[in-house]
Protein backbone atom coordinates (compact mmCIF):
# COMPACT_ATOMS: atom_id res chain seq x y z
CA UNK A 1 0.00 0.00 0.00
CA UNK A 2 2.64 2.47 1.01
CA UNK A 3 4.77 1.59 -2.00
CA UNK A 4 1.97 2.77 -4.24
CA UNK A 5 2.18 6.17 -2.53
CA UNK A 6 5.86 6.33 -3.51
CA UNK A 7 4.83 5.44 -7.04
CA UNK A 8 2.29 8.27 -6.91
CA UNK A 9 5.06 10.70 -5.93
CA UNK A 10 7.21 9.47 -8.81
CA UNK A 11 4.34 9.87 -11.23
CA UNK A 12 3.56 13.37 -10.00
CA UNK A 13 7.18 14.30 -10.60
CA UNK A 14 7.07 12.77 -14.06
CA UNK A 15 3.88 14.68 -14.83
CA UNK A 16 5.58 17.87 -13.71
CA UNK A 17 8.56 17.31 -16.00
CA UNK A 18 6.35 16.67 -19.00
CA UNK A 19 3.90 19.52 -18.47
CA UNK A 20 6.03 22.36 -17.04
CA UNK A 21 6.76 25.33 -19.22
CA UNK A 22 9.50 26.82 -17.10
CA UNK A 23 12.94 25.35 -16.65
CA UNK A 24 12.94 25.81 -12.89
CA UNK A 25 9.65 23.98 -12.56
CA UNK A 26 11.15 21.10 -14.50
CA UNK A 27 14.04 21.10 -12.04
CA UNK A 28 11.69 20.98 -9.05
CA UNK A 29 9.68 18.16 -10.63
CA UNK A 30 12.84 16.12 -11.12
CA UNK A 31 13.64 16.76 -7.46
CA UNK A 32 10.18 15.46 -6.54
CA UNK A 33 10.70 12.36 -8.63
CA UNK A 34 14.03 11.73 -6.92
CA UNK A 35 12.32 12.07 -3.55
CA UNK A 36 9.80 9.43 -4.53
CA UNK A 37 12.51 7.00 -5.60
CA UNK A 38 14.51 7.57 -2.43
CA UNK A 39 11.43 7.01 -0.32
CA UNK A 40 10.79 3.73 -2.13
CA UNK A 41 14.35 2.61 -1.53
CA UNK A 42 14.14 3.55 2.14
CA UNK A 43 10.80 1.84 2.75
CA UNK A 44 12.06 -1.43 1.32
CA UNK A 45 14.34 -1.69 4.33
CA UNK A 46 11.57 -1.17 6.83
CA UNK A 47 10.55 -3.74 9.39
CA UNK A 48 7.31 -3.65 11.36
CA UNK A 49 7.94 -2.28 14.88
CA UNK A 50 11.68 -2.34 14.33
CA UNK A 51 14.41 -0.67 16.35
CA UNK A 52 16.72 2.00 14.97
CA UNK A 53 19.86 0.30 13.64
CA UNK A 54 22.25 1.54 16.31
CA UNK A 55 24.32 -0.90 18.33
CA UNK A 56 24.56 0.13 21.99
CA UNK A 57 27.18 -1.32 24.34
CA UNK A 58 24.62 -3.72 25.74
CA UNK A 59 23.10 -5.08 22.53
CA UNK A 60 24.07 -8.43 21.11
CA UNK A 61 24.48 -8.89 17.39
CA UNK A 62 21.75 -11.51 17.21
CA UNK A 63 19.09 -9.33 18.80
CA UNK A 64 20.19 -6.47 16.58
CA UNK A 65 19.83 -8.57 13.45
CA UNK A 66 16.38 -9.79 14.38
CA UNK A 67 14.93 -6.56 15.71
CA UNK A 68 16.40 -3.65 13.83
CA UNK A 69 15.42 -1.92 10.64
CA UNK A 70 17.69 -2.67 7.69
CA UNK A 71 20.48 -0.06 7.68
CA UNK A 72 21.75 -0.69 4.16
CA UNK A 73 18.99 1.19 2.31
CA UNK A 74 19.62 4.16 4.61
CA UNK A 75 23.24 4.32 3.47
CA UNK A 76 22.15 3.91 -0.15
CA UNK A 77 19.64 6.72 0.14
CA UNK A 78 22.25 9.02 1.71
CA UNK A 79 24.51 8.47 -1.27
CA UNK A 80 21.63 8.93 -3.69
CA UNK A 81 20.62 12.19 -2.02
CA UNK A 82 24.12 13.58 -2.39
CA UNK A 83 24.20 12.52 -6.06
CA UNK A 84 20.85 14.22 -6.55
CA UNK A 85 22.26 17.34 -4.91
CA UNK A 86 25.11 17.44 -7.41
CA UNK A 87 22.75 17.06 -10.35
CA UNK A 88 20.45 19.72 -8.87
CA UNK A 89 23.31 22.20 -8.56
CA UNK A 90 24.28 21.58 -12.17
CA UNK A 91 20.68 21.96 -13.38
CA UNK A 92 20.17 25.23 -11.54
CA UNK A 93 23.46 26.58 -12.91
CA UNK A 94 22.28 25.61 -16.40
CA UNK A 95 18.97 27.40 -15.83
CA UNK A 96 20.78 30.56 -14.76
CA UNK A 97 23.07 30.44 -17.78
CA UNK A 98 20.12 29.72 -20.09
CA UNK A 99 18.38 32.81 -18.75
CA UNK A 100 21.44 34.91 -19.40
CA UNK A 101 21.64 33.62 -22.97
CA UNK A 102 18.03 33.40 -24.09
CA UNK A 103 16.47 35.94 -21.76
CA UNK A 104 13.63 33.64 -20.76
CA UNK A 105 12.80 30.71 -18.54
CA UNK A 106 10.17 29.43 -20.95
CA UNK A 107 11.08 26.08 -22.45
CA UNK A 108 8.97 26.58 -25.56
CA UNK A 109 11.11 29.57 -26.51
CA UNK A 110 14.46 27.85 -25.98
CA UNK A 111 14.28 25.89 -29.20
CA UNK A 112 17.16 26.69 -31.47
CA UNK A 113 18.04 23.07 -32.11
CA UNK A 114 15.59 21.31 -34.33
CA UNK A 115 15.57 18.59 -36.98
Q: Does 100 bind another protein (CB under 8 A)?
A: yes
Q: What's 71's DSSP letter?
A: S
Which residues have CB under 8 Å from 40's CB, separation 6+?
3, 6, 7, 10
Q: Which is nearer to another protein, 49 or 115 (CB)?
A: 115
Q: Does 65 bind another protein (CB under 8 A)?
A: no
Q: Which member of 67, 97, 104, 106 binds another protein (CB under 8 A)?
A: 97
Q: What residues pair up with 87 in beta bridges, in sequence order?
A: none
Q: Does 44 bind another protein (CB under 8 A)?
A: yes
Q: Does 5 bind another protein (CB under 8 A)?
A: no
Q: How far is CA 47 from CA 6, 23, 76, in A?
A: 17, 39, 17
Query: At 68, phi and psi to the nearest 5?
Result: -95, 160
| Cα separation, 106 vs 90, whole angstroms | 18
Q: Which member of 64, 68, 80, 105 binds another protein (CB under 8 A)?
A: 80
Q: Does 19 bind another protein (CB under 8 A)?
A: no
List residues binding another protein (CB under 8 A).
10, 13-14, 17, 23, 26, 30, 33-34, 37-38, 40-41, 44, 54, 56-57, 72-73, 76, 78-83, 85-87, 89-98, 100-102, 110-113, 115
Amino acid sequence: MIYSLCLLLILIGLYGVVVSRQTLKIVVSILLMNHGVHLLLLLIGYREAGNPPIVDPGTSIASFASGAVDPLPQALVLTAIVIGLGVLALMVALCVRLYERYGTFDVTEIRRLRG
